[in-house]
Every structure is written in structure tokens, then in C-alpha cells.
């Protein structure tokens, strides 16, 4: 039976699609831009790229007929949060669906300072109210987030942020997808929230120390006020909604909400999560 992936062209969703195909699974990628998806994946055996109106419940119903499991990997707020809710609502009406696995975030909770964490909690509540068969993976901030520093680091060997303390065990998004694939395909892991972290919590200044060691040059963290930080984000062309998420994310980091590790990744995959040092080495050119 086929697996459907929603958010199939994103960082995590695209890795899930590739991982499923490697396992020989049949995959339906429900996308808004079929040509873009074909450019991304080609036309491998087992993959059906289905142009889908994700805001139209009847089209989503049609797309999910006969599907056994679904992976959802999208943003939690605004239109993407609405599309996730539509997909979950439709899934709850389709009897062939045995599990919906969703990409959430570490500390998803109504009490978090993070807007993203609160929004994911709200989506979980819908899934619970509809009694959809359901699991989530809840990763820490992705190592990929550090690439946002690339431009400033290249220009001035500095990076400006709000959170000069508070640690996060940053995780490689490919590890997130690997664990997500296991949860999606192994019924023993269904019906649970899986909290995923990288190996070691670091603050942003500590992450820059690792980057300094990689580059052989000192990169310094500059602490901004909220108005300064906001101005930087807007000047960099970050959309308003995303800027709001990033500011709230910094408050959550400062409050120490993310300062812990779990062994879930090791338990699920049987290996250690990738190290930040290795990510920085791999992406050295983007900072040098």
C-alpha cells in the first residue's frame, strides 16, 4: 500500500520521499508544484507526483484514498498550519489510513515561549480530538539554521542574535528524516511523540567557537536588542511571519527550554546523531 507525503519538497519531506523510495515503497507526493517536484526527484519508479489543492478537502480526500500511512512535514503557522489541519481532518475520515506521522518540534507545548511550539501543540490537539492514528517526531532546531549566519559571517566574521546564552542540541535535518522514516514505517513506534536532539547542547556563541575552529579564524557573536534584531531580519528580506517566529525562538532558547538531550535518535536508528562539527565542516564554504 502507498505512503503519502505532504510537504514532500521541503528539507525533511524530500529526504523522507528519497528514503521511502530506497526502501522500495510506493510513494504519492502531494505537491503544489508538480514540475518543481519532478525537477527535484526526477521520475523514479515508485514515485507518483500528484498536483494537489491542499486547501481543498475534497481534492485531499481524493488524493488520500487507499493510502495506508502519511508523513506531514510543513510549517505550523499561517497557511501551512491550516493545510496541516485540513490533511489531518481528512485523514481521520479515511479508513485505510493506519498512521499519520507528523514533523513537529521539541517542546511542543501550550506553555512554550516559542510560537512554533505552541502552534504544533495546537495541531496535536486537533489530531487528538479527531482520534486520528498519530505519531510525531519533535526535533530540536536544525543545524541548517546556522546557514542563516553565512552572509554576515563571510562579510564581518560576526553573527548577530538575541540569545547569547541558553543551549540547544542542534540536529542535522537528515537525521530528523532518518528517524521520521523509521517512525513512519515501524508500527512499534506509532502512537508516540519522539523527541529528537543532536548529541550536545550548545549556545549560539559556542556554536560560533566551533565554527571559528573550523575556519581557523575567530567568529564572534554580537548580542542585539529586539528592535535591532528585527531590523536585521526585515533588511535581510525575511517575511514578517517568519521574523516573528525567529524572535520567539530566541526567547525560548534564552529561557533554556531546549537545554537538554534525549537518546531517542539513538534508540530509533541504532546510531549516534551527527555532530555539529561535521555539519560545519561540510558547509565550510558557506562561511569562508
Ligand X SMILES: NC(=O)c1ccc[n+]([C@@H]2O[C@H](COP(=O)([O-])OP(=O)(O)OC[C@H]3O[C@@H](n4cnc5c(N)ncnc54)[C@H](OP(=O)(O)O)[C@@H]3O)[C@@H](O)[C@H]2O)c1
Using CB under 6 A as the criterion, which residues of the chain lie in contact with ligand X when the complex forms?
Answer: 7-13, 32-33, 54, 73-76, 79-80, 83, 103, 105, 116, 139, 141-142, 145
Our measurement of the distance from residue 286's CA atom to the centroid of its chain's CA atoms, rounded to an integer in Å, reads 21
In whole angstroms, how close is the CB of 218 to ligand X at the nearest point? 25
Rounded CA separation 196/139 (Å):
4
Q: Decide whether 116 or 264 has the Cβ nearer to ligand X.
A: 116
Contacts of 31 (CB under 8 A, 6+ apart): 8, 9, 37, 49, 50, 51, 52
CB of 122 to ligand X, least distance (A): 12
Gap between the Cα atoms of 26 and 173, Å rounded: 23
- Contact between residue 117 and residue 108 where contact means Cβ atoms under 8 Å apart: yes
Closest chain position to ligand X (CB): 10
Give me the phi and psi of 100, to 5 degrees please. Answer: -110, 125
| Residue 2 CB neighbour total at 10 angstroms | 17
* Beta carbon nearer to ligand X, 12 or 67: 12
Q: Name the residue nearer to ligand X (CB basis): 83 or 127.
A: 83
Q: How far is the CB of 213 from ligand X (least distance, A)?
A: 23
Residue number, 12 or 97, with CB nearest to ligand X: 12
The least distance separating ligand X from the CB of residue 55, rounded to whole angstroms, comes to: 7
Nearest approach in angstroms of CB 174 to ligand X is: 11
Instruction: Report the chain's terminal Cα–Cα distance, integer Å.
Output: 47
For ligand X, give the closer residue by CB, 106 or 189.
106
Only one residue has cell 571559528, namely 212
* CB of residue 14 to ligand X, shortest distance in Å: 7
Q: Are 185 and 23 in contact (CB under 8 A)?
A: yes
Strand order in the sheet with 99-103: 47-51, 27-31, 3-6, 69-72, 99-103, 134-139, 193-196
The helix (run of H) or strand (run of E) holding residue 51 is strand 47-51
Residue closer to ligand X by CB (options 6, 132) is 6
Q: How far is the CB of 217 from ligand X (least distance, A)?
A: 26
Q: Which is nearer to ligand X, 217 or 278 (CB)?
A: 278
Amino acid at each position: 500500500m502507498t505512503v503519502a507525503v505532504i510537504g514532500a519538497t521541503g528539507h525533511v519531506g524530500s529526504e523522507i520521499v528519497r528514503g521511502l523510495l530506497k526502501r522500495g515503497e510506493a510513494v504519492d507526493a502531494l505537491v503544489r508544484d508538480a514540475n518543481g517536484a519532478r525537477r527535484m526527484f526526477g521520475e523514479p519508479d515508485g514515485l507518483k507526483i500528484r498536483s494537489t489543492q491542499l486547501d481543498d478537502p475534497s481534492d485531499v480526500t481524493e488524493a488520500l484514498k487507499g493510502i495506508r500511512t502519511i508523513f506531514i512535514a510543513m510549517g505550523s503557522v499561517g497557511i501551512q498550519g491550516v493545510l496541516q489541519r485540513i490533511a489531518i481532518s481528512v485523514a481521520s475520515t479515511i479508513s485505510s489510513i493506519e498512521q499519520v506521522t507528523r514533523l513537529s518540534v521539541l517542546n511542543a507545548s501550550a506553555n512554550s515561549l516559542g510560537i512554533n511550539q505552541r502552534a504544533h501543540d495546537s495541531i496535536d490537539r486537533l489530531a487528538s480530538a479527531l482520534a486520528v492514528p498519530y505519531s510525531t517526531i519533535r526535533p530540536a532546531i536544525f543545524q541548517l539554521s546556522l546557514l542563516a549566519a553565512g552572509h554576515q559571517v563571510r562579510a564581518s566574521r560576526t553573527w548577530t542574535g538575541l540569545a547569547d546564552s541558553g543551549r540547544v542540541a542542534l540536529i542535522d535535518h537528515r537525521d530528523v528524516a532518518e528517524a521520521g522514516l523509521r517512525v513512519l514505517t515501524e508500527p512499534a513506534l506509532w502512537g508516540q511523540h519522539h523527541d529528537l536532539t543532536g548529541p550536545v547542547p550548545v549556545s549560539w556563541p559556542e556554536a560560533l567557537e566551533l565554527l571559528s575552529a573550523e575556519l581557523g579564524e575567530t567568529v564572534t557573536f554580537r548580542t542585539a536588542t529586539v528592535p535591532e534584531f528585527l531590523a536585521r531580519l526585515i533588511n535581510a528580506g525575511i517575511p514578517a511571519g517568519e521574523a516573528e517566529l525567529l524572535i520567539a525562538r530566541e526567547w525560548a532558547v534564552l529561557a533554556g527550554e531546549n537545554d537538554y538531550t534525549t537518546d531517542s535518535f539513538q534508540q530509533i536508528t541504532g546510531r549516534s546523531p551527527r555532530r555539529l562539527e561535521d555539519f560545519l565542516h561540510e558547509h565550510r564554504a558557506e562561511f569562508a
